[in-house]
């Protein structure tokens, strides 16, 4: 609300305005609480239907932390097991082979992570553009 000058306002008018604003705040808080409740219901319906809830991008769902998938062998170790020293594999093929080998991930950018691992780890070398083999 725009600020007004207080010259010409009586004390009783000022008190009435303060009361009006407090009532307005209570009403807005009730509306906010109702909307938050409705949003939680919609998130639950989305999750039940297999979609991501409203907090899927964040790290929490319904107040609980989303746990990272744990694997006994690192991604690079799993890539060593599934890649061949002679037959080159694309990043997509390597990613699918890693998943077939039982590597668990919840990452939405898993292909990028596999690509970075293949580029940075000395155990892999580039055969052709976008294709990698064991070094």
Q: Check whether residue 60 and residue 94 sit in a common domain.
A: no
The distance of Cα 44 from the centroid of its chain, to the nearest Å, equals 17
Q: What's the pLDDT at 27?
A: 87
User: Is 82 domain-assigned?
Assistant: yes
Q: How many domains does the chain have?
A: 2
Q: Check whether residue 84 and residue 47 sit in a common domain.
A: no
User: Is 100 domain-assigned?
Assistant: yes
User: Is 37 domain-assigned?
Assistant: yes
pLDDT 10s digit of each residue in the chain, 135 long? 455 566 778 888 889 988 989 888 988 888 998 998 888 888 888 888 877 655 545 455 566 666 788 899 999 999 999 998 889 999 999 999 999 999 999 889 999 999 999 999 999 999 999 899 998
Q: Check whether residue 50 and residue 79 sit in a common domain.
A: no
* pTM (predicted TM-score): 0.52
Q: Check whether residue 53 and residue 87 sit in a common domain.
A: no
Q: Range of 99's domain?
A: 75-134
Q: What's the pLDDT at 3?
A: 59
User: Is 6 domain-assigned?
Assistant: no
């Amino acid at each position: 609300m725009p600020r007004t000058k207080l010259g010409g306002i009586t004390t009783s008018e000022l008190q009435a305005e303060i009361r009006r604003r407090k009532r307005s705040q209570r009403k807005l808080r009730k509306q906010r609480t109702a909307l938050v409740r409705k949003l939680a219901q919609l998130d639950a319906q989305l999750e039940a239907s297999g979609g991501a809830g409203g907090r899927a991008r964040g790290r929490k769902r319904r107040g609980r932390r989303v746990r990272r998938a744990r694997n006994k062998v690192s991604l690079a170790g799993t890539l060593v097991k599934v890649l061949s020293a002679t037959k080159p594999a694309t990043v997509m093929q390597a990613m699918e082979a890693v998943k077939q080998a039982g590597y668990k991930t919840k990452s939405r950018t898993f292909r990028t992570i596999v690509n970075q691992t293949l580029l940075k780890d000395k155990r892999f070398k580039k055969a052709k553009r976008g294709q990698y083999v064991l070094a």
